[in-house]
Chains A and B, each alone.
Chain A
Amino acid sequence: MISLRNFKNFIVDTVGLMVHGSRLYYAWVGFLLLLIAVGGIAYLNQLNSGLIVTSMRDQVSWGFYIGNFTFLVGVAAASIMLVIPAYIYDWAPIKEITILGEMLAVTALIMCLGFVMVDIGRPDRFWHIMPLVGRLNWPQSMLAWDVIVLNLYLLLNWFVVTYLLFSSYVEKHYNKKIVLPLVLLSIPMAVSIHTVTAYLYNGLASRPFWNSAILAPRFLASAFCSGPAVLLILLQVLRRTTRLKITDAAIFKIAELMAYTMGFNLFLTAAESFKELYSGTEHMVYFQYLLFGLEKNGVHYNTLVPFAWASIITGFIAFLLFLIPKTRMNWTTLNIGCVLIYASVYIEKGMGLIIPGLTPDALGEIYVYRPSFTEVAVAAGIFSLGALVFTVMLKAAVPMMLGEFTITRGRKASEPVEADPIQA
């Protein structure tokens, strides 16, 4: 039965599942908590001293935090790479695992909001940006749009995940009339979060590197490479460590879709590079800084060059590995490909997007930005927080997805004394 009382039990049981586990589970959670603590201490220091403990300055006013934010919006959007084959093409093997994509989206969005929170100078004024309570400059500001769509997408995914698990917990089949429209809605929503995030940069005429019409398409194409790469590795881990049934066919199908998006992503990158480099206007300096470095007053600035090429080369190798059926269906080469494409997009949509957008700065100055220890520690803390959220979500979700843990069976099995199935 779907009732408030059962929902309370569901929450209690979910928390119960999250806090009880094997030694390995505790060790992993403990490790993540430790990293979160390190990030937390670094963040407290940043709160005390101000953002001056980062390497950001007026010239490069956004850096590692916003780079990670942008990358993670892509990961969040990528869950629809599971939804589309599952629900649009009604492809059963993937349908059972779409909830994993939704949980990944929730996790990625929590990290996104974390990166925004640590980047703002006045986190105590967070309420100013909250719709209705604060004073949202909507529809003018793209950041106002982003606040809205990111939070809606977070709520949507959170609701679907909770609803599916709760249905399974109370031993009822989920109501298709509720789930299907929401899942279908998540497709345009996922496109919108990454499009709006791209527009955030795209709309700034002051930064020619971002002021390109194909920025949003490039965001989407790269997101549909990196997000599924995380999922592919995750699915393999899960089918080894849990009793979840994830077929080879499901994994290879996602890999095949990724081959298309990776090819498209490389094509868009090439199109952008051609336009900038061949026309060679003054707007080329940012691309030049990224790919070849710049020389000014006898000093050669080439901090980004090795990263930029690493991104292009790993992206290209990954594309080949995914394109050729033989290497795509080989677990070793498939996983190498996943790691390579993840690295490629992490560079491209993180530092490779933000830093050349701001260097040289609006007055032509070259400020060499490298993240400070604080920025790396805080980022590690946020990634660990994400990993922790995902871990505990999986910990509770997997037995429920499998139908092993329900309101009757679960309570009996784990807490036989308190269990009262008759009332439930």
Chain B
Amino acid sequence: MMDHQPMHPQDDGGGASACGSRREFLGTAVAAVATALTGCGKLSKEEFLQHNFRELSKDEIQTIIARLESEYKAKYGKTVKVNNEAAMPGVIFGYALDLSRCIGCRRCVHACVKENNQSRDPEIQWIRVLEMDKEEGVNLQHAEQYYNPEEVPREGHFYMPVQCQQCKKPPCVKVCPVGATWKEKDGIVVVDYNWCIGCRYCMAACPYGARHFNWGEPTMKSADVNPETHYLGNRPRPKGVVEKCTFCIQRTRKGLYPACVEICPTGSRKFGNLLDAKSEIRQVLENKRVFKFKEDLNTQPTFFYFYGV
């Protein structure tokens, strides 16, 4: 990673107030032009000038969170908490999915949408379940995402849910021209929705179709909004930016399971700390034969597939 040094916020001394006000004026003028560019007339000067999340001081983050919370309150008429929990030390999250148990019911897909405040119309789904021919094995040219039988699992088929594989070498992070997406210490690849320019290069780079774009203004009914959010996770997103699975960062950093793990009726989904030798995920890795999806691309996912039975 070639990260630039954080830019230090200028400490304005007493004599710098004129300079400050000029900068303020310029900022306002530029923000006005930028507002015209967004076409929605909602862009505030603060939002326009906001810097990359990784370059913000603690105070700046708190101010931004307060601003976001009041925006969400105005938009959805209820209190939405934006949390900023950092990665826990000594934790790298890992995930394993049992292909022999998954029945393709897509409960995980919908639990994920509910938990993570995805746009409902058009609906964005972070988990895509592929119906595969048993005869073909894992062959994407024989995969079907839009299967809709009376009952699952269908005879002769198995199911392979795909979501962000939280790669150790994420190609999406490498290609982002502005560093709006990065890998956190606990292995979660996150997006700064206030920094992403919406070029969608990461979507072209992702071999798993795990990144999704807000093609239109995301819509959600107030009642559907999950008020427990994380800045780098499930807080409501603006139009024109990319989003993706974060292993439910707002839950997992508090020690909870991701929503998809919790809802799975067959227990196909295993999750835990890769650094903890006693964790369930480590048990799976040690006792089952696992594989990584598209292993030849050397993205080194921390998301594994296995055949449990």
Interface, chain A (partner B; CB < 8 A): 44, 46-52, 54, 56-59, 61-62, 116, 119-126, 128-129, 134-144, 147, 200-201, 203-207, 282, 285, 296-297, 357-358, 360-365
Interface centre among B40, B130, B177 (most CB of A within 10 A): B177
Q: A297 near B144 (CB under 8 angstroms)?
A: yes
Query: Which of B35, B144, B199, B297 makes the CB contact (< 8 A) with A143?
Result: B199
Say whether B225 faces chain A, with CB atoms less than 8 Å apart: no
Q: A121 near B204 (CB under 8 angstroms)?
A: no
Do A360 and B214 contact each other (CB < 8 Å), given the known contacts A126-B197, A136-B178, A205-B171? no
Per DSSP, chain B at the interface is loop
Query: Which of B177, B239, B297 makes the CB contact (< 8 A) with A50?
Result: B239
Say whether B48 faces chain A, with CB atoms less than 8 Å apart: yes
Instruction: Report the Cα distance A379→B216, complex, angstroms.
Output: 20
* Chain B residues, CB < 8 A from A200: 201
Find the B residue at minimum CB distance from A205. Answer: B297
Query: Which of A119, A124, A137, A362 makes the CB contact (< 8 A) with B176?
Result: A137
Do A121 and B143 contact each other (CB < 8 Å), given the known contacts A50-B215, A56-B215, A129-B177? no
Question: Can you pick out 29 interface pairs between chain A and chain B where the beta carbons lie within 8 Å of each other?
Answer: A44-B39, A46-B39, A48-B40, A50-B239, A51-B216, A58-B203, A58-B209, A58-B213, A61-B203, A61-B213, A119-B199, A120-B197, A121-B240, A121-B242, A124-B34, A124-B35, A126-B197, A128-B178, A135-B4, A141-B201, A143-B175, A143-B177, A143-B199, A205-B171, A206-B171, A362-B206, A363-B130, A364-B143, A365-B209
Find the A residue at minimum CB distance from B47. Answer: A124
Instruction: Report the Cα distance A129→B4, complex, angstroms.
Output: 13
* Chain A residues, CB < 8 A from B130: 363-364
Find the A residue at minimum CB distance from B43. Answer: A124
Q: B141 near A134 (CB under 8 angstroms)?
A: no
Instruction: Report the Cα distance A135→B180, complex, angstroms.
Output: 9
Q: B176 near A141 (CB under 8 angstroms)?
A: yes
* Chain B residues, CB < 8 A from A48: 39-40
Instruction: Report the Cα distance A285→B142, complex, angstroms.
Output: 12
Q: B207 near A143 (CB under 8 angstroms)?
A: no
Find the A residue at minimum CB distance from B177. Answer: A143
Find the A residue at minimum CB distance from B34. Answer: A124
Interface centre among A122, A138, A141 (most CB of B within 10 A): A122
* Chain B residues, CB < 8 A from A126: 37, 197
Say whether B174 faces chain A, with CB atoms less than 8 Å apart: yes
Interface centre among B52, B55, B178, B239 (most CB of A within 10 A): B178
Interface, chain B (partner A; CB < 8 A): 1-2, 4, 34-35, 37-40, 43, 48, 51-52, 55, 122, 128, 130, 139-145, 162, 171, 174-180, 195-201, 203-209, 211-217, 238-242, 294, 297-298
Query: Which of A47, A139, A363, A365 makes the CB contact (< 8 A) with B208?
Result: A363
Q: B145 near A140 (CB under 8 angstroms)?
A: no
In whole Å, how far is A336's beta carbon from the nearest beta carbon of chain B? 36
Q: B171 near A360 (CB under 8 angstroms)?
A: no
* Chain B residues, CB < 8 A from A54: 215
Q: B198 near A120 (CB under 8 angstroms)?
A: yes
Find the B residue at minimum CB distance from A143. Answer: B177
* Chain B residues, CB < 8 A from A135: 4, 51-52, 55, 178-179, 195
Query: Which of A49, A123, A143, A206 makes the CB contact (< 8 A) with B216?
Result: A49
Find the A residue at minimum CB distance from B122. Answer: A52
Instruction: Report the Cα distance A319→B242, complex, angstroms.
Output: 43
